[in-house]
Structure 1
Amino acid sequence: MPRLLRLYLAGPDVFRPDAAAQGERLRTLCAAAGAEGLFPLHGEGVDIRRACLDMLDAADAVIANITPFRGTHMDPGTAFEIGYAEARGTPVFFWSADPRPLKERHPSGADGRDGEGYLVEDWGKTENLMIVPDGRVVGASAEEAIAEAVAALGFTVRNRDLQRRTRRSVAVALAVSLAAALLAGMIANRLIGW
């Protein structure tokens, strides 16, 4: 049976009062799409950072909930996970329950600056352009981001799995052939009397 696409489910969902139920809902969405959801909810006594990094290392892609959290921007832990995934070359797929551009969510004056004088990005993106680069889509739901990931990567993971199984089969066939040749040589030597 081919291995399922593994999707790390990043986002502030782990802080919800119903985090376990939300994690199960997200994992169910992944399963319905033919993938395995890795939800980073950990119990007491666990090195959470290390456990999350291990899950990220095991993932084929990240589904990142970049919905604003405790302000106008996304959860900083999720931003870290996105950066970690990007550095490893792991694809990231985004979704946000608030798809408005950052400029609409964070008030600014006519000069484009906020109340503290800082420039508010106006790139028409849901989040900072370092998080959502040009050409990247931000879905309106987890379902959309999961479907995008499965459509983009499902074949690649199945193909990698098929390549691994094919290499294993070739190695077994080679070993069996070598053993049969050695056995045939031993039998021939006995028959000839060497």
Structure 2
Amino acid sequence: MQLRLYLAGPDVFRPDAAERGAELKALCEAQGAQGLYPLDVAADNIRRRCIAMIHDADAVIADISPFRGEHMDPGTAFEIGYAEALGKPFFLWSNEPRALIERIAAGPQGRDGQGRLVEDFGKPENLMIVPDGQRVWSGPAEAIAEAVEALGFTTKNRRLQRQTRISVVIALGISLIVALAAGMLVDLLVGW
């Protein structure tokens, strides 16, 4: 069974969204994984279907590049949070590697034009999105490769579980046949 990776990000809003989805899914396939792209669902209730895809996925690959401003797409932020709530790992990438403090104009006290503090944790996005220890890759290929490397055991474990179940069923079948044959042999010997 292939590793399933949900491909979150604002690429669904691009004019070439379907082609971009095919590219991202091809990157997954090249790594031996299956890419689950949000546009692969019917237009009726996209939210519900995307949530179902996240449930079906082993992990989320999320594009946190700035979208319509200095921060990432809010829908992608929701998908990352939802995956984390489910206990699913997520792997991030961004085409903007600079920390927020380097991207958002801030005065000497680290405040923006509205007087609000600009987060200065050396991360390309809010610390709730990029927790300590979380790497942000420069592109989707690297994030996908990391997910496959980190989660390859999941696929192997599923395969091993399936093989174990099959072996147990076969062993049970053989045991039943041996027990029946032994019972028939005892009946023959006692009957003489």
The alignment's TM-score, normalised by the length of structure 1, stands at 0.92
- 1:152 matched to 2:156: no
Listed as ranges, the matches of 1:106-121 within 5 Å are 106-121=104-119
- What is the distance in 2 between the residues matched to 1:132 and 1:21? 28
Q: Which whole-Å CA distance do the structure 2 matches of 1:43 and 1:34 have between them?
A: 22
Residues 50-69 of structure 1: per-residue CA shift (max 9 Å, x gap): 11011000111110000000
What secondary structure does 2:39 align onto? coil
Percent sequence identity over matched residues?
Answer: 64
Q: Is the 8 Å Cα contact of residues 41 and 49 (structure 2) preserved in structure 1?
A: no
Which residue matches 2:75?
77
List alignment gaps of at least 5 residues for structure 2: none
- Hey, what does 2:92 align to over in structure 1? 94
Shift of 1:14: 0.7
Residue range with higher mean Cα deviation, 101-110 or 15-24: 101-110
- Is the partner of 2:38 in helix, strand or coil? coil
Residue identity matched to 1:158: K
AA aligned opposite 1:21: E
State the Cα distance separating 1:13 from its structure 2 match: 0.7
Distance in 1 separating the partners of 2:15 and 2:184: 71
Distance (Å, rounded) in 1 between the aligned partners of 2:68 and 2:86: 28
Cα displacement (A) at 1:21: 0.3
Listed one character per residue, the Cα deviations across residues 46-104 of structure 1 (whole Å, up to 9, x for unaligned) are 21111101100011111000000011000001000000111111010000011111112
Alpha-carbon contact 1:42-1:48 (below 8 Å) kept: no
1:27 to 25, 49, 63: 25
Structure 1: tracts of 5 or more residues without a match: none
| Paired residues of 1:13 and 1:22 also in contact (CA < 8 A) | yes
Answer yes or no: is the 8 Å Cα contact 1:94–1:137 preserved in 2: yes
Q: Which amino acid in structure 1 is aligned with residue 53 of structure 2?
A: M
Aligned positions of 1:11-50 closer than 5 A: 11-42=9-40, 45-50=43-48
RMSD (Å) for aligned C-alpha atoms: 1.7
* Count of residue correspondences: 192
Structure 2 residue matching 1:125: 3-state secondary structure: coil
Which residue of the partner structure matches residue 178 of structure 1?
176
Matched position secondary structure for 1:36: strand
Find the aligned partners of 2:72 and 2:62 in 1 and give their Cα distance: 10
Measured after TM superposition, the shift of residue 42 of structure 1 is 4.6
Question: What is the distance in 2 between the residues matched to 1:88 and 1:122?
Answer: 28
**Aligned-partner residue type, residue 23 of structure 1:** G
The two structures have a TM-score, normalised by structure 2, of: 0.93
Task: Report the Cα offset of residue 159 of structure 1.
Answer: 2.1
Measure the CA separation in 2 of the matches of 1:44 and 1:113: 43
Shift of residue 123, structure 1, vs aligned partner: 0.5
What do residues 106-127 of structure 1 show as CA deviations (whole Å, max 9, x unaligned)? 1111111111111100101010
- Structure 1 consecutive aligned stretches of length 4 or more whose deviation exceeds 6 Å: none
